[in-house]
């Protein structure tokens, strides 16, 4: 996702220009970093995230056009502004056609530079809002099922690479149909919103990931946790929800650990994780509801 707080990389082989630009960015209210060559800029792009690159055109070693083409090919989401002297051999049209977002001549006017930066920042913020809308559930504000498919792949790859455990909790709201029938759908919607609030309050921001699958079912990816910690989090969902003292309802939760199999594709192991968490959730419903059931296959693999 796009960073809602834009960071700018300033590239120029003249240290005095970089100093002026850094001070201007601070005056405009933006965070920035500097690079004294195109090669240094590429290195910084590999190790940090930037939304905007402001680069001079004429530089030793790698010019601004070469850097622009590299960014366009490897970081298509980054906005690039080219700065150049009046004697530059590249025209405005050529620079824009090569992928730049804007162009400003040296010596640049401070007001013009601020206006161009602000315009790009507004576009970035709008893009961030659109991204959030596309991956969010409109009723609860949690992430939607579409984003779950993206995020679970990212997280299981990270967990496997870093040798961390990952658990999936599948939560089902007990008796939602009865509540809709008895109190009306607005009451059911309010109940689902309360579940979303409960989940968010019980997890670690930007470490665990909450989703509404749709209907009365939710999912939470719990990363870098032990089995005991995952169980404690799932129990906390129920305890926090019970404190709201809502009639007729509760949370039935299935919990499963991601298991990487040498014989299967990663996508098959993810599907197996979801299947086992679903089965555990249905067992929670069958054995009394408003409780947590841990996937039994997880225990078998742990014993092995």
CB atoms within 10 A of CB 64: 28
Catalytic annotation, pick one of 216, 228, 242, 272? 216
The answer to whether residue 216 is catalytic is yes
> HSE (CB half, 13 Å, CA atoms) of 263?
1
DSSP 8-state secondary structure symbol assigned to residue 51 = S
Distance CA 105, CA 113 (A): 10
Does residue 44 contact residue 1 with C-beta atoms inside 8 Å?
no
Inter-helix orientation angle 227-242/185-202, to 10°: 140
- Dig out the tokens for 292 from the structure: 């947590």
Write the CA distances from 134 to 4, 19, 179, 214, integer angstroms: 15, 39, 29, 15
Q: Which residue has the tokens 């709008």?
A: 126
Catalytic residues: 216
């Amino acid at each position: 996702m796009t960073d809602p707080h834009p960071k700018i990389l300033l590239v120029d082989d003249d240290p005095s220009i970089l100093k002026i630009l850094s001070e201007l960015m601070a005056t405009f209210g933006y965070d920035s970093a500097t690079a004294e060559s195109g090669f240094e800029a590429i290195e910084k792009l590999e190790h940090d995230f930037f939304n905007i690159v402001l680069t001079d055109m004429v530089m030793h070693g790698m010019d601004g056009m070469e850097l622009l083409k590299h960014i366009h090919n490897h970081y298509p989401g980054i906005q690039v502004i080219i700065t150049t002297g009046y004697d530059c051999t590249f025209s405005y049209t050529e620079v824009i056609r090569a992928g730049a977002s804007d162009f400003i001549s040296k010596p640049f006017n401070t007001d013009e530079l601020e206006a161009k930066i602000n315009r790009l920042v507004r576009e970035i913020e709008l893009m961030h809002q659109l991204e959030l809308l596309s991956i969010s559930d409109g009723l609860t504000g949690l992430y939607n099922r579409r984003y779950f498919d993206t995020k679970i792949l990212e997280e299981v790859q990270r967990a496997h690479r870093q040798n961390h455990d990952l658990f999936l909790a599948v939560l089902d709201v007990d008796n939602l149909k009865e509540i809709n029938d008895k109190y009306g759908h607005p009451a059911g919607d309010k109940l689902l919103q309360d579940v979303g609030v409960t989940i968010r309050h019980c997890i670690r921001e930007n470490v665990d990931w909450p989703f509404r699958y749709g209907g009365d079912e939710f999912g939470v990816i719990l990363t870098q946790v032990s089995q005991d910690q995952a169980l404690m989090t799932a129990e906390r969902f129920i305890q926090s929800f019970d404190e709201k003292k809502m009639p007729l309802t509760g949370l039935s939760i299935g919990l499963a650990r991601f298991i990487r199999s040498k014989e299967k594709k990663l996508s098959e192991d993810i599907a197996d994780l979801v299947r086992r968490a679903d089965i555990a959730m249905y067992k929670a419903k069958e054995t009394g509801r408003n409780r947590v059931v841990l996937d039994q296959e997880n225990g078998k693999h742990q014993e092995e």
